[in-house]
Amino acid sequence: MQTKVSSDPSRYDQKLELILRASARIFAEKSYHSTSMRDISRATGVSLAGLYHYCKSKEELLFLIQDHCFGRVLQRLEERLQSESDPIARLRIFIDNHLSFFAANMAEMKVLSHEANSLTGERQRKVNAIKRRYVDLLEGLLKEAAPEEPAVERSAASYMLFGMMNWIYNWYDPAGAIDPDRLAELIARTFIGGFAEARSTVHGG
């Protein structure tokens, strides 16, 4: 099926969105390196020439997937944090925001994880800058919520939390026995109860 490229900006965005979602699914299934632009053309029904109108290369596609995901999750987070000042509540918002986004975008999460080192040059630099901002934001929240923890523990704890949340692409079925809200709640109470609140409640501060 050939698709004419639209000049309407919103249709352009919608089509790009469709291409990115299909590409993420294919990259997640058969890996970035084993996927060709022809595979993506086949899966989306967009001609090769059409595809190259939306992105200059396969690497550009991988960049756009990563950039859109991290950009969106970060933007949503920053908006949600604006209205909350309690450290524990802010940490809960972080967990809920990350988990609800990636439970709805598990193929993207797998690609973000497995292809973290497949970007090169300026594209890699840009994605790493957003990731850095996102990780720094979490470390800042942990500093507010667990100020007595050594920095080394806090930094490790931020990756432990990412591990708990990101690993879901290996096992989780959002339509299964535990819905995303309930899973976010379980992760929040486990992580916050064990790391951020443990000293004040169990060890007495």
Query: Residue 166's closest CA among 41, 79, 82, 73?
Result: 73
Helix (H) or strand (E) run with residue 28 in it: helix 9-30
Query: Residue 26's closest CA among 107, 116, 120, 117?
Result: 107
Told to check if 193 binds its own copies by CB under 8 A, we report yes
Collapsing DSSP states into helix, strand and coil, what is residue 165?
Answer: helix
The CB density around residue 112, as the number of other CB atoms within 10 Å, is 23
User: What one-character DSSP code corresponds to residue 194?
Assistant: I
How many binding residues for its own copies (CB under 8 A)?
A: 40
In the complex, least distance from residue 152 CB atom to its own copies, rounded to whole angstroms: 5
Burial of residue 177 (number of CB atoms within 10 Å: 0-12, 13-18, 19+): exposed
Told to check if 56 binds its own copies by CB under 8 A, we report no
User: What one-character DSSP code corresponds to residue 148?
Assistant: T
**Residue in 61, 65, 109, 187 binding its own copies, rule: CB under 8 A:** 187
Stretch of residues binding its own copies (CB under 8 A), selected from 50-58, 90-98, 101-109, 193-201 = 193-201
Stretch of residues binding its own copies (CB under 8 A), selected from 47-55, 63-71, 84-92, 186-194 = 186-194
Told to check if 147 binds its own copies by CB under 8 A, we report no
Evaluate whether 73 touches 94 at the Cβ level (below 8 Å).
Answer: no
Told to check if 194 binds its own copies by CB under 8 A, we report yes
Told to check if 189 binds its own copies by CB under 8 A, we report yes
For residues 156-185, which are near its own copies according to CB under 8 A? 156-157, 159-168, 170-172, 177-178, 183
User: What one-character DSSP code corresponds to residue 4?
Assistant: P
Told to check if 153 binds its own copies by CB under 8 A, we report yes
Q: Which residues bind its own copies (CB under 8 A)?
A: 31, 33-34, 113-114, 116, 152-153, 155-157, 159-168, 170-172, 177-178, 183, 186-187, 189-195, 197-198, 201-202
